[in-house]
Amino acid sequence: MSDSRHQSLVRLMQRFRRLIEAVIGQLVDRFNIEKIRARDR
């Protein structure tokens, strides 16, 4: 299965994902959150 997205777009999305995961990790540490209770629909 080939990826039809441009390589620059893929790199940009990876950078945003790393940033978002880092922020979530900091919030988990700060507020002592152990479990995410949100559900996908």
Q: How many domains does the chain have?
A: 1
- Residue 4 DSSP label: -
How many angstroms separate the CA atoms of 1 and 19, rounded? 27
Give the type of residue at 1: M
What is the extent of the structural domain holding 15? 1-34
The mean pLDDT value for 24-31 works out to 89
Residue 9 placed within a domain? yes
Q: Which helix (H) or strand (E) holds 28?
A: helix 7-31
pLDDT of residue 26: 93
- pLDDT (tens digit, 9 = 90+) per residue, 1-26? 677 989 999 999 999 999 999 998 99
CA distance 28 to 34: 7
Residue 27 lies in a domain: yes
pTM: 0.67
- Answer yes or no: are the C-beta atoms of 3 and 9 closer than 8 Å: no
Which stretch of DSSP H or E encloses residue 6?
none
